[in-house]
Amino acid sequence: MYIGVSFKLYLDRPRTREWCAAVAEIANRHRAVVSRGVEPVVFPSLPAMDIAMAACARAPVAFGAQDLFWADRGAYTGAVSGADLADMGCVYAEVGHAERRQFFGEDDAIVAKKVAAAVRNGLTPWICIGESEPGPADEAAAFCAKQLQASLAELSEPAPIVVAYEPVWAIGESKAASAEHVAAVARGIKASMADRADAANTPVVYGGSAAPGTLTELGGAVDGLFLGRFAHDTAAFEEILDEAAELIGKRSAGAVSAGERR
């Protein structure tokens, strides 16, 4: 299970250091993380990446970039190379977030090039997909499946990815999309990847005003959460890890019961 947290442009460098130091302490003792049932993934702003990594150097916390450029080298002023991100120690790269699409004009073609750049440099892309307006779950799933396939268009062969389902209409709102809607869309996304060789191992996480309580409501419908402002409080982050541990325990108990019945 993945519990990702993006700082977007909310936290400055001192606040980032403080948050990461607190989360490092949590990760080093929390049963969900110590047992490797959960991988915490932090997406700080790029200028704070170094101090964030230093604060978590002795903790089981992975890091990702909030963006990357589609080319590794060249005359691209202000761009960030996936090669440099990998060299810094990043494991993941977020690609295609709705805010990148809205404010920076990124379309499916750009997202696909960035996904390829991440894979080329050994980074696992967190591909953000989601419908713009509320509507039936089957229509949302069809839209997301099409958006995901477009995001993978530049890959010549399957590669590890994390799919972040983030309905645009839920981002920044007071609460997440309903559990029923998210579960139905997540199933549709996974079904759309059935022809991929690694489809069974591709996690789908939920983002979009996810908060404490969201993971419990979703149950086994997703493989984790992609959190924003509601996890900038480290106490809330730990509460979400508690929920993850509870769910993992229930899954394990269910697996044991199934084995005994066989």
pLDDT digits (tens, 9 = 90+) for 167-201: 999 999 988 999 999 999 999 999 999 888 777 78
| The residue count for the chain | 262
Q: What is the value of pTM for the model shown?
A: 0.94
pLDDT at 218: 96
Q: Output the six-digit token pair for 20.
A: 């990461």
Q: How far apart are CA 148 and CA 46, in angstroms?
A: 26
Taking every pair of C-alpha atoms in the chain, what is the biggest distance, in angstroms? 63
Mean pLDDT of the chain: 95
The count of structural domains within the chain is 1
pLDDT at 78: 96
Average pLDDT over residues 45-53: 98
Which of helix, strand or coil describes residue 129? Answer: strand
* pLDDT tier, 203 (very low <50, low <70, confident <90, very high otherwise): very high
pLDDT at 256: 47
Residue 233 burial (C-beta neighbours within 10 Å; 0-12, 13-18, 19+): middle
Average pLDDT over residues 94-106: 97
Query: Tokens 């101090």, residue?
Result: 51
Residue-range definition of the domain harbouring residue 226? 2-261
Active site residue ranges: 97, 166
Q: Output the six-digit token pair for 28.
A: 């080093």
pLDDT digits (tens, 9 = 90+) for 232-256: 999 999 999 999 999 999 887 665 4
Q: What is the CATH number of the domain that holds 144?
A: 3.20.20.70
pLDDT digits (tens, 9 = 90+) for 21-38: 999 999 999 999 999 999
